Amino acid sequence: MSKAVDVRITGRVQGVSFRAYARDQARGLGVAGWVRNEPDGAVAAHLEGPDRAVDAMVAWCRHGPAYAEVEQVRVEHAVATGAETFVIR
């Protein structure tokens, strides 16, 4: 099975290399999509791939890298875009 989700992560998630670590984690799990900083200090991501891999990536987003302080992760079902890699936007 395959799934796609949009994720919004809030807390201390900018300036702690969240996007770079997310890219590495996603690529290691075989998840495609993107991650970007939002103007309000949040991080947004689009994740797609095998169910278990996407679920593992969402679980990682709940804590992020060592210096992140994740307060909230909002997950919404999304439409797959057919992405083949994971990029930082």
Full set of structural domains in the chain with CATH = 2-88 (3.30.70.100)
Q: Give the pLDDT score at 72.
A: 98
Rounded (5°) CA angle 51-23-61: 60
48 within 8 A of 83, measured Cβ to Cβ: yes
pLDDT digits (tens, 9 = 90+) for 24-59: 999 999 999 999 999 999 999 999 999 999 999 999
Q: Give the pLDDT score at 1.
A: 73
Catalytic residues: 19, 37
Nearest Cα to Cα of residue 23 among 35, 37, 12, 10? 35
% of the chain beyond a pLDDT of 70:
100
